[in-house]
Every structure is written in C-alpha cells, then in structure tokens.
Amino acid sequence: MNLRYVFQELTRRWRRTVMAVIGLSIGIALLVILNALSLAYHEAARAPLKEIGADITVQRPGNVPEEMAGAVFPCSAVTIRMDEIDRVEKIPGVRGVGTALLLWVFDPNRAWIVLGIEQENPVGPSILRNFVKEGRYLVAGKPEALVEAAYARQFGIRLGDSVSIAGRSFPVVGLVDASHAPKIAVANLYLPLPEAQAIAAASKPLQSVSPFAVGDVNLLFIKAGQEKITSVASALKGVLGQKTAVATPDSFLKLLGSFFALSDKFTLAASLIAILIAVLISFKTMAGNVAERTREIGVLKAVGWTRRNVTLQLLTESVVQCFIAGILGLLIAYAASFALGFMTVNIPIPWEMSPTPHFLPGGGATIFKTLQLPVHIPVSLALFAVLLSVVIGGLTGALLSNHISKIKPSEVLRHE
C-alpha cells in the first residue's frame, strides 16, 4: 500500500470523499449523541438518590393513622424493624445502609413533618450538613433540632429558640435551606434519630397502627454496586415483603417518560438504524468510486500490482476515509452534546418520598428535582465510535476490494 497514493486519491477526488465521510460521520454522530443522551437520562435519574448518598430507598406502606393527633407515621412509611435492617445489611451487593425516621407530628396548634436522622452516616440525609444556612449542624448525642428555613420564617422560629414537639423541647441550632437540599426525605424539623425514635415509641396513635420499638425506623437508604442495584432491589422485597416500596434509579427513569429514559432498546434500535443508513450511504459512495476505477485497477495490475497490492491499497483508502468520518462524527457529537447540556430535566419526586401531608397547604403539589441534563460522551463511547468507523471502513473496503481486485487487466484494457 502506498500512502501517497491513498492521500492523493482521497484529496483529489475530494467531492466523493466528502460525500462518503459526511454520510458516515452523521451516522456516527447520531450513534454517539443517542447513546450520550440515554446515558444522560440514566445519570439524571440517579441524581435524586445520589444526592443523599444512596442508590436505593426503601419504605414500607401501611395503614392510614386512625386520628391525626400526636406523632404518627405517614401511611407510606411504617415500621421497619431492627432485625430486618440486620438482614438487609447482609444482602449481597449492599455496601452501606442508612436509616431515618419520618413522622407527622400534630400538636394542638401546629403540624410538623419530623425526620430523625443519623448525623454521621454518609448514606442518607446527613448530607443536610451542607445546606445549613444559619447556625450549625446537629452534634452527636445532643437533643437538638434543625428547622427548615422557610418553615422557620413562616412560624417565626429563630436560631436559639426552643421548639416543643410531642411534649419534648429541642433547642434550634441551625436553619436548613431546603430549596438547595435534596428533595428526598425532606421535613420541617430534623432531629437526631434516637430523639425521633423516642417520640415514635411513646406515641400511642402510632403504636396502634404500626408497633414500633426504639431502634426501629421507617426509611432505609441503601448504597449498592451499580451492577447489583436490580438484584438488591429484588432481594429487599424478599426480606421486607412484596408490598415494600423500593425506589431505584430505574423508578425515576420511568417517571421521566422520555424515549431515551424509557427504553435502552429504543436507543439501541435507533443507533443501529442510524449506523445502517450511514453505512449504506458510505458503501454506495465507495462502491461507485471503486466501479469508476475499474480501468485504473486494470492499469495497476498491468504494470505489476498483485491482487494483494490492490486490495491493501483500496482497503487502506476505505479505512482512512472511515477513520476521518469517525473523528468528524465525534466532533459533531461533542458539539451537539455541548448544546444539549443546556437542556434541563425535571424529575418528579413521588409523593411518598417527599411526604408533605396532602391535607396541608402545598401537600398535593408535585415536587421536582430540576437539573441540567448531564450530557457527556464517555471515552469508551468515543473510542467505540471511532473503532466502529474503522471496522466499517475495513469491512466495506475488504468487500469492495476483494471483488474488484479479481479483475483481469486484459478484460478492462482490451476495449480501447
């Protein structure tokens, strides 16, 4: 193979080269963009869970409280016992478990959504420490409270005040900016988990619906290996019952409703169609080129080029052309992904995961996690795209050159 000849063929028949390159590069760009979008939606779907350091959340639905007085469980989250938590921790693929306790507390003149949290466990709502806009975060072992800033403003609660809840008093040590905090497991009042557990254990209305012992919780946050999420989710239902609400990134993906979010098969099918059309365009262009060069191939063979020489020459031309198409397609895809990165996506948070009682103001409104679509092209996808281009070039070149290199020079040069 002669690289000078390859270069001259591609540059001096530039119209044909450009047509073949553009045809394939559009296909490659579409393939990369479709897959990058699919990955972006998958990553977006992980965001609500990722921002509380978890891959899975678990709640067990139960009965509606008989009366809205004192501390009760939302019907979407009743008791998960300590022994069940131990069994969850032993499920293969579980890397960490965080717990929390969500309560609705109805005092005579105010209703609270209370969340008892493990202050130091990185899996779960401890991420709140990053959203304390005033005061400080909870210190382990102390009976103190954080109040959500908007709620504090509404009810005139200030830093240093004490809040009285279910007959217990807690000093307010910090105000949390919920507008920037995670959208899952939000509350008006955040307490250390043991304090919330003590409130729950002492509540007769709560015990009458769902027996609760100190040490039990009603929210689980689970960290799992990405490839194990599905199997862990399935095992969780085995441990906690089939009715258990297990939220995974896939749950959010389904809520997004996009074609890319709904189906990996759609992405695969669309990618294949894009590539197939691109390959056909390129093949047609290259086949036309080779057919036009039949006489030229005859001359090459007449002056001493072997079949292997001819095949290698055409194969190299095809591979170089398709490699350029792959790089161009990748550049187009990078430009498109940059533009698509300005799109925002609204991920609806299911009511049971952000449980403002529906009978309270704003309780029926859907909460969204809004974020910019995280479109990026992984190196592996970029390499795959270029490799695919080269393979297409190789196969196309091999197919065309194998046929044309068989011609006898006398056959094409005979009819002068």
Partner 1 sequence: MNEAILVGVDLTKTFDDLTVVRGASIAVGDGEFVSLVGKSGCGKTTLLSLLSGLERPTSGRVTIAGKEISGASEDDLALFRRENVGFIFQSFNLIPTLSAWENTALPLFPIPMAEAERRRRAAELLDRMELGNRMEHLPAALSGGEKQRVAIARALINNPKIVFADEPTGNLDTATGDAIMAILNRLHREAGMTLLMVTHDPELAKTADRVIRMQDGEVLS
Count of positions on this chain that bind partner 1 (CB under 8 A) = 26
**111 vs 412, beta carbon nearer partner 1:** 412
| Chosen residue from 302, 360, 387, 391 binding partner 1 by CB under 8 A | 302
**30 vs 400, beta carbon nearer partner 1:** 400
Contacts with partner 1, 304-343, as mask; x by CB under 8 A: xxxxxx----------------------------------
Applying CB under 8 A, the span of 1-9, 67-75, 117-125, 282-290 interacting with partner 1 comes to 1-9
Applying CB under 8 A, the span of 52-60, 168-176, 385-393, 408-416 interacting with partner 1 comes to 408-416
Applying CB under 8 A, the span of 173-181, 253-261, 381-389, 402-410 interacting with partner 1 comes to 402-410
Min dist. Cβ of residue 392 to partner 1 (A): 23
| Chosen residue from 46, 60, 183, 301 binding partner 1 by CB under 8 A | 301
**306 vs 372, beta carbon nearer partner 1:** 306
3-class secondary-structure state, position 106: strand
Residue 135 burial (C-beta neighbours within 10 Å; 0-12, 13-18, 19+): middle
Q: Which of residues 10-69 bind partner 1 (CB under 8 A)?
A: 12-13
Min dist. Cβ of residue 7 to partner 1 (A): 10
Contacts with partner 1, 350-389, as mask; x by CB under 8 A: ----------------------------------------
Geometric angle at alpha carbon 46, from 45 and 48, rounded to 5°: 90
Applying CB under 8 A, the span of 61-69, 85-93, 146-154, 299-307 interacting with partner 1 comes to 299-307
Closest to 232 in 3D by CA, of 96, 409, 124, 66: 96
Q: With contact defined as beta carbons under 8 Å apart, do 182 and 52 qualify?
A: yes
CA–CA separation, 130 vs 140, rounded Å? 16
Applying CB under 8 A, the span of 131-139, 201-209, 358-366, 407-415 interacting with partner 1 comes to 407-415
Burial 148-163 (b: 16+ CB within 10 A, else e): bbebbeeeebeeeeeb
Take residue 391 and report the two structure tokens written for it: 């393979």
Geometric angle at alpha carbon 343, from 341 and 346, rounded to 5°: 125
Applying CB under 8 A, the span of 52-60, 89-97, 386-394, 403-411 interacting with partner 1 comes to 403-411
**231 vs 309, beta carbon nearer partner 1:** 309
3-class secondary-structure state, position 374: coil
Q: Where are the beta strands (DSSP E) in 50-201?
A: 56-59, 70-72, 94-107, 110-117, 132-135, 145-148, 162-165, 168-176, 189-192
Q: Which of residues 142-201 bind partner 1 (CB under 8 A)?
A: none
3-class secondary-structure state, position 232: helix
DSSP tag of 184: S
| Chosen residue from 299, 339, 365, 387 binding partner 1 by CB under 8 A | 299
Min dist. Cβ of residue 6 to partner 1 (A): 10
**288 vs 364, beta carbon nearer partner 1:** 288
Closest to 10 in 3D by CA, of 282, 289, 275, 277: 289
Contacts with partner 1, 279-298, as mask; x by CB under 8 A: ----------------xx--
Residues 6+ away with beta carbon under 8 Å from 29: 328, 329, 330, 332, 333, 336
Min dist. Cβ of residue 397 to partner 1 (A): 17
CA–CA separation, 390 vs 372, rounded Å? 33
Alpha helices for 164-293 (secondary structure H):
193-201, 204-209, 229-240, 249-256, 259-262, 264-292
Min dist. Cβ of residue 303 to partner 1 (A): 4
**130 vs 410, beta carbon nearer partner 1:** 410
**2 vs 370, beta carbon nearer partner 1:** 2
**125 vs 298, beta carbon nearer partner 1:** 298
Take residue 117 and report the two structure tokens written for it: 């949290």
Take residue 279 and report the two structure tokens written for it: 């390959």
Which parts of this chain interact with partner 1 (CB under 8 A)?
2, 4-5, 8-9, 12-13, 295-296, 299-309, 408-410, 413-414, 416
